[in-house]
Amino acid sequence: MDRIVTFGEIMLRLKSPGHDRLLQSPSLEATFGGGEANVAVSLSLLGREAVYVTALPENPVADAAVGELRRYGVDVSFIRRTKGRLGIYYLEAGADQRPSNVSYDREGSSLSLVRPGDFDWAAICRGAAWFHVTGITPALSQGAADASIEAAALAKQAGCTVSVDLNYRKKLWNYGRKPPEVMRELVKCADVVIANEEDIQRCLGIEPVVAEHAAGSPDVEAYRNLAGQVRAEFPNLSHVAVSLRDSRSALYI
């Protein structure tokens, strides 16, 4: 009982070479990315049995995305091939004072068109130990939000530990709902929440009662307090993980 299931959107990731601006040369590095797919691939490379669930259109580029997951040993047998597009994001690595930049072209993606009932979660989670989802999918559309909550609830019923990486993205959430309305419902189905301070504020509407930290180095105690606030509001959670990332230069991506 070792399988791990992740659910989310995989996109074509088009990056200009090195630190070029987009299309400065007529070439793009073309790979696939998406937080939940990355988790599945990493777990598979570490030797775990990983299942990745998503919706993709029927076309050669989506075929290539599936092939890439399969190459890393991910179980792709529950991916549904449906209407809609393959989402795309363009990436430009920064240099010196110029920051890195991401442009999305993911409207109308197959995953944004899913609805509850589209996936047979009982079958998918049979024998699975863990189910992982992020706050990206609920940010795409009402249908994707509803499908995420349904998936987490059914995974929980099927005996999975459920983890949610809040992963707030300001450029998404354009379909009319406020993040906390949706995300608080999702977190109620979870055992583990992964977040940073901004995620907790934006997605759960929880403001830290203790100031974050003095200038310079992170104040571990303040983060411990914040995690405690989250667990106080969501007693169903066994763990709250706070991730800190220090970015030194746009030259490294």
Contact status, residue 35 vs residue 89, Cβ threshold 8 Å: no
Near a second copy by CB under 8 A: residue from 61, 153, 192, 250: 61
Tell me, what amino acid is at 180?
P
Rule CB under 8 A: say whether 2 interacts with a second copy.
no
Interacting residues of 56 by C-beta distance below 8 A, sequence separation 6+: 10, 62, 65, 66, 79, 80, 81, 82, 86, 110, 111
Which residues in 94-153 contact a second copy (CB under 8 A)? Answer: 101, 103, 105, 107-108
Cβ at position 95, least distance to a second copy in Å: 9
- Nearer of residues 73 and 205 to a second copy, judged by Cβ: 73
Tokens representing residue 63 in the block: 């075929």
Candidate list 3, 85, 132, 156; residue touching a second copy; CB under 8 A: 85
In whole angstroms, the minimum distance from the beta carbon of 34 to a second copy comes to 15
**Of the candidate residues 33, 73, 205, 208, the single one contacting a second copy (CB under 8 A):** 73
Q: Which of 2, 42, 59, 244 binds a second copy (CB under 8 A)?
A: 59
Segment lying near a second copy (by CB under 8 A), choices 1-9, 65-73, 176-184, 193-201: 65-73
49: left (phi over 0), alpha (psi -120 to 50) or beta: beta
Rounded CA separation 184/119 (Å) = 22
Please check whether residue 212 is in contact with residue 179, taking contact to mean a CB–CB distance below 8 angstroms. Answer: no
Q: Nearest-CA neighbor of 159 among 136, 190, 127?
A: 127
- The answer to the question of residue 3 lying near a second copy (CB under 8 A) is no
Q: Which of 42, 67, 120, 122 binds a second copy (CB under 8 A)?
A: 67
Does residue 251 belong to the site contacting a second copy (CB under 8 A)? yes
Q: Which is nearer to a second copy, 29 or 198 (CB)?
A: 29
Count of residues that interact with a second copy, criterion CB under 8 A: 35
One-letter identity of residue 218: P
Position of tokens 């419902």?
Answer: 185
Min dist. Cβ of residue 244 to a second copy (A): 15
71 binds a second copy (CB under 8 A): yes
244 is a site residue for a second copy (CB under 8 A)? no
The DSSP secondary-structure symbol of 167 reads -
DSSP assignment, residue 119? S
Alpha helices in 57-99 (DSSP H): 60-71
11 bridge partner residues: 33
Q: Is 89 in the site for a second copy (CB under 8 A)?
A: no
Distance CA 242, CA 234 (A): 16
Q: Interface with a second copy includes 30 (CB under 8 A)?
A: yes
Q: Which residues bind a second copy (CB under 8 A)?
A: 14, 21-31, 59-61, 64-65, 67-68, 70-73, 85-86, 88, 90, 92, 101, 103, 105, 107-108, 251-252
